[in-house]
A and B are shown apart, each in its own frame.
Chain A
């Protein structure tokens, strides 16, 4: 079966750096996505990786290793507004998105 694993919950301190990991086992691979979802709100697109390596976008970076079936989302200079769930999703060989259950990130002052 297809599977996406992410930690359920993480806690970090305002101003610090946090890394959220995602491992996947899917039928084929056509890209990996990260979305942010604040409580009670819609998911919003953060990043996309299809080749190995690091994609940087402001305070957020996303890394992919296809051979290891692994990605991480790196958040720098954490702000209180970064408290949210972070969803990892993989597009499989049928171009369908398989979603992880999400990682709830709690930021403490």
Chain B
């Protein structure tokens, strides 16, 4: 049972470099999310998607782009990385049928360091 899988798990970038984080889920979930988690702060929503081909901005979208070309995949891109984007990134998914319980299924996280 793979669930939600994120790649890569770790990455070190230099300021100005670009990269893409991949999230894949095998639970046929409609909703997918990208969060960042920083020390002393709650999870903050970057972007989300309510279905294939749709994306929307969350609380902290600046400096990030996303795409949801296939239902099972949700990509997070950094076009020009900045040290402020050093963080742990979590992908999560949810089925609309679980809307009442709000249960999110998270990937294991991707730790990104920007030098």
- Tell me the number of A-to-B contacts counted with CB atoms below 8 Å: 50
Is B102 a contact of A97 with CB atoms below 8 Å? yes
Query: When the two chains form their complex, are residues A42 and B102 in contact, meaning their CB atoms are under 8 A apart?
Result: no
Write the chain B residue with the least CB distance to A47: B101
Partner of A33, one of B40, B41, B102, B107: B102
Cβ of B103 and Cβ of A45 under 8 Å apart?
yes
- Which listed residue, B40, B44, B104, touches A45 by the CB 8 Å rule? B104
Q: How many residues of B contact A (CB 8 A)?
A: 20
A101–B41 touching, CB < 8 Å: yes
Chain A residues within 8 Å of B, Cβ to Cβ: 4, 8, 31, 33, 35, 40-45, 48, 50, 87, 89, 91, 96-102
Instruction: Please list 6 pairs of residues, one from A and one from B, whose beta carbons are closer than 8 Å in the complex, sorted by A's number.
Output: A43-B106, A45-B103, A87-B43, A96-B59, A97-B102, A101-B42
